[in-house]
A and B are shown apart, each in its own frame.
Chain A
């Protein structure tokens, strides 16, 4: 079943452990510029937002790739990059509206999140649960439950007062 990586930004504590483990897993070193995920922060306002490839259905990176090196991989619900075909033109980097395509200057390649082939390491290490890997067709149910929890407290109170 297709799963998606969703961000619950209100749970993010800004610790950047996801950046670290992403870099270490994919490159063997820690270098946040080589990580596929980044926490974008406004530190003086206490706001942070994990940003990564959205694995778009109609992906601009796929559309602009002159060599068809980028394609949708249906089994994992992701946009995959075939390095054998990639010529490093970086059109995908320009086209992506989210910054999901990056450039690794050490290996001189474009890089993107590949969902760790179905077991994203950032999700595994995100202790507060700001990053979650869930079945795509139930993602809204999860959000409904979170919102419903708050709503239900009010509903239950009103029930008690009715009695």
Chain B
């Protein structure tokens, strides 16, 4: 059954490997994927460990429905204590690694210690080997995967790996598989690098049993038809996430020149530009959205290079945030971050911040080694990517992430940082959208749009429809507002999305198949059916909500154990003090109201059953069955 996959404990210091089944009882509490990873982190990590030391614990997992005919269930989740934030590290990616891990017999890997020299793991049909990676250390993301497949003599092997950024302990290095699938956030690549773990290679030929095969196929077919019929799917299939830029830039909801503007005037980096470069689109395992473009760079030193992407995030990182207005720079920048294995969002934010410091005279030519860090200097942006990944010059400081870099640079550099909990914000401007602002302020892994963003708030949906979505499955009869500039009812939207994304991350389904950018996709009800048809486990939508709540609360407890306080659920001052200068009337002259925002956070805590300091109340902990944690059952 899809439920008979095992968990493997791998100690890289002692080369000891143990495997164990995952009891159904644990599935009933956490499903799998991110949820079970969070339980494992809370149970296996001692509080206060150095995230880049041997005591950090790295988890790699496939969600509960990965490899089944559920909708696009391909996600690999990676967890550890984050070297960027010091709180929960958690990131996931699509591609083909997670299904292969399941075909090889495993759902969760718990990796501890540190190897003496570079190694990689070779996992195949129930076997796990630690192999020498000295020859591969130093290779980029693409070559690493090909070299390992050559060494193992099987082109069907799937590899996740780190690039030079992870080896160099860049605190926002990512973990990747394929050309562009990246577990980008919270620096999981640096954790792998600190353990001398270059890669994990998997190949499996074991049956993954489906509880009700015929019914599952039939339901999948219905979902494909339904999802494929939405306008959202049709746009995604054609343009990928780059389509978002047109709307958000026109309205004035993007972050330009670090945080100086909220609209790119004369912006010329719309998704349509990809047509000139695109060679078609590519999908992750079992997904009909195929949202990433295959493209070829046409000019310059990388002419002829094949790459995949870019996403909306790279339009920000190498476009509006750094004041660049050249689509080809985005294509090259996207290729470079994937080659080095570094988070495109964080690196773009760090470079944009450095540019603002350069403009203000806090950074000088002496600091930059003569590099003119001026807005719109495309070549300087691309050069800084290299410097950060290779930790050269100023790049060595920026590679430390927002807060540590600000400490090193000093003066008042910290006041120009756009971050929450030490992780940079997406290049969106949330000053007009209190719900989105609340989401990034409270996200358990730091500022992030994939933890709780109620993106459909931007669609001004009728209250009646909002009630249908956000009114359940655990009842809510408080206010809900169609106006995205309102503060009313938004905490519920954020909480609901948190629960939805948590549940989805436990199953390994992609967020684009759930209510994220379209109100018509998978919710708790459909999830309940998907879990039942594929695994036989019966959960009501309400029970799935409770599982998500349990997993989210354990993330909160993890963060509190690492020193999180209410002050960490907060935005930088610029959100409150600097009104948005341009954009459509709805997004112009807006900033977040401190008092109302404080109220929102209170309301959000209350919905969660947390006290006014943001600590889960004893009765909440008891209700969720977390009173015995850490329970060391796994």
Which of A's residues lie within 8 Å of B, judged by CB?
A: 10, 13-17, 20-21, 24-25, 27-34, 41, 43-46, 105-106, 121, 124-125, 127-128
Which A residues are in CB contact (< 8 Å) with B155?
Answer: 41
| CB-CB under 8 A for A15 and B284, given A28-B210, A125-B224 | yes
Which B residues are in CB contact (< 8 Å) with A27?
Answer: 207
Q: Can you give 27 A-B contacts (C-beta < 8 A)?
A: A10-B280, A13-B281, A13-B282, A15-B285, A17-B285, A17-B288, A20-B285, A24-B69, A27-B207, A29-B208, A29-B210, A30-B69, A30-B208, A31-B103, A31-B208, A34-B207, A43-B145, A44-B306, A46-B179, A46-B279, A46-B282, A46-B294, A46-B308, A105-B205, A127-B224, A127-B288, A128-B288
Which A residues are in CB contact (< 8 Å) with B21?
Answer: none
Measured CA separation A31–B207 after assembly (Å): 5
Flag whether B290 is at the interface (Cβ < 8 A). Answer: yes
Which A residues are in CB contact (< 8 Å) with B294?
Answer: 46
B94 to chain A, nearest CB (A): 10
| CB-CB under 8 A for A28 and B213, given A33-B205, A46-B179 | yes
Which B residues are in CB contact (< 8 Å) with A105?
Answer: 205
Measured CA separation A7–B96 after assembly (Å): 22
Please provide the chain B residues from 269 to 298 with a CB less than 8 Å away from any CB of chain A in the complex: 279-288, 290, 294
Identify which of A13, A21, A24, A121 contacts B290 (C-beta below 8 A): A13
B139 to chain A, nearest CB (A): 13
| CB-CB under 8 A for A44 and B207, given A10-B280, A125-B221 | no
Measured CA separation A124–B217 after assembly (Å): 11
Asked whether A15 lies within 8 Å of B286 as measured between CB atoms, the reply is yes
Measured CA separation A153–B33 after assembly (Å): 49
| CB-CB under 8 A for A14 and B282, given A29-B213, A46-B294 | yes
Measured CA separation A8–B510 after assembly (Å): 27
Known pairs A13-B280, A29-B209. 11 more at Cβ < 8 A?
Answer: A13-B281, A15-B286, A15-B288, A17-B285, A17-B288, A29-B207, A30-B207, A33-B205, A44-B179, A46-B280, A46-B308
Which residue on A lies nearest to B2, using beta carbons?
A30
A142 to chain B, nearest CB (A): 19
A48 to chain B, nearest CB (A): 8
Which A residues are in CB contact (< 8 Å) with B281?
Answer: 13
Asked whether B145 lies within 8 Å of A16 as measured between CB atoms, the reply is no
Measured CA separation A106–B67 after assembly (Å): 19
Measured CA separation A44–B149 after assembly (Å): 12
Return the 8 tightest CB-CB contacts between A and B, nearest first: A15-B283, A46-B294, A13-B290, A13-B283, A29-B207, A127-B288, A30-B208, A33-B205
Q: How large is the interface on B (under 10, 10 to 19, 20 to 34, 35 or more residues)?
A: 35 or more
A117 to chain B, nearest CB (A): 15
Number of A-B contacts (CB under 8 A): 89
A120 to chain B, nearest CB (A): 13
B514 to chain A, nearest CB (A): 18
Please provide the chain B residues from 44 to 78 with a CB less than 8 Å away from any CB of chain A in the complex: 67-69
Asked whether B67 lies within 8 Å of A30 as measured between CB atoms, the reply is yes
Asked whether A31 lies within 8 Å of B205 as measured between CB atoms, the reply is yes
Measured CA separation A15–B510 after assembly (Å): 13
Measured CA separation A44–B305 after assembly (Å): 11
Asked whether B213 lies within 8 Å of A44 as measured between CB atoms, the reply is no
Asked whether B146 lies within 8 Å of A44 as measured between CB atoms, the reply is yes
Measured CA separation A58–B283 after assembly (Å): 36
Measured CA separation A98–B598 after assembly (Å): 66
Please provide the chain B residues from 192 to 247 with a CB less than 8 Å away from any CB of chain A in the complex: 205-210, 213, 216-217, 220-221, 224, 228
Asked whether B145 lies within 8 Å of A44 as measured between CB atoms, the reply is yes
Which residue on A lies nearest to B95, using beta carbons?
A43
Interface centre among A20, A25, A30, A106 (most CB of B within 10 A): A30
Which B residues are in CB contact (< 8 Å) with A24?
Answer: 69, 210, 213, 216-217
| CB-CB under 8 A for A43 and B179, given A13-B282, A30-B67, A33-B205 | yes
Flag whether B501 is at the interface (Cβ < 8 A). Answer: no
Which B residues are in CB contact (< 8 Å) with A25?
Answer: 213, 217
A41 to chain B, nearest CB (A): 8
Flag whether B340 is at the interface (Cβ < 8 A). Answer: no
Measured CA separation A46–B281 after assembly (Å): 9
Flag whether B434 is at the interface (Cβ < 8 A). Answer: no
Which A residues are in CB contact (< 8 Å) with B96?
Answer: 16
| CB-CB under 8 A for A106 and B146, given A21-B217, A24-B217, A127-B224 | no
Which B residues are in CB contact (< 8 Å) with A31?
Answer: 103, 205-208
Which A residues are in CB contact (< 8 Å) with B205?
Answer: 31-33, 105
Which A residues are in CB contact (< 8 Å) with B284?
Answer: 15
Measured CA separation A31–B2 after assembly (Å): 12
Asked whether B285 lies within 8 Å of A16 as measured between CB atoms, the reply is yes
Identify which of B69, B142, B285, B288 contacts A21 (C-beta below 8 A): B69
B303 to chain A, nearest CB (A): 16
Which residue on B lies nearest to A27, using beta carbons?
B207
Flag whether B89 is at the interface (Cβ < 8 A). Answer: no
Measured CA separation A24–B288 after assembly (Å): 18
Measured CA separation A124–B224 after assembly (Å): 11
B37 to chain A, nearest CB (A): 23
Flag whether B178 is at the interface (Cβ < 8 A). Answer: yes
Asked whether B216 lies within 8 Å of A128 as measured between CB atoms, the reply is no
Which A residues are in CB contact (< 8 Å) with B142?
Answer: 44
Identify which of B145, B206, B286 contacts A17 (C-beta below 8 A): B286
Measured CA separation A13–B228 after assembly (Å): 15
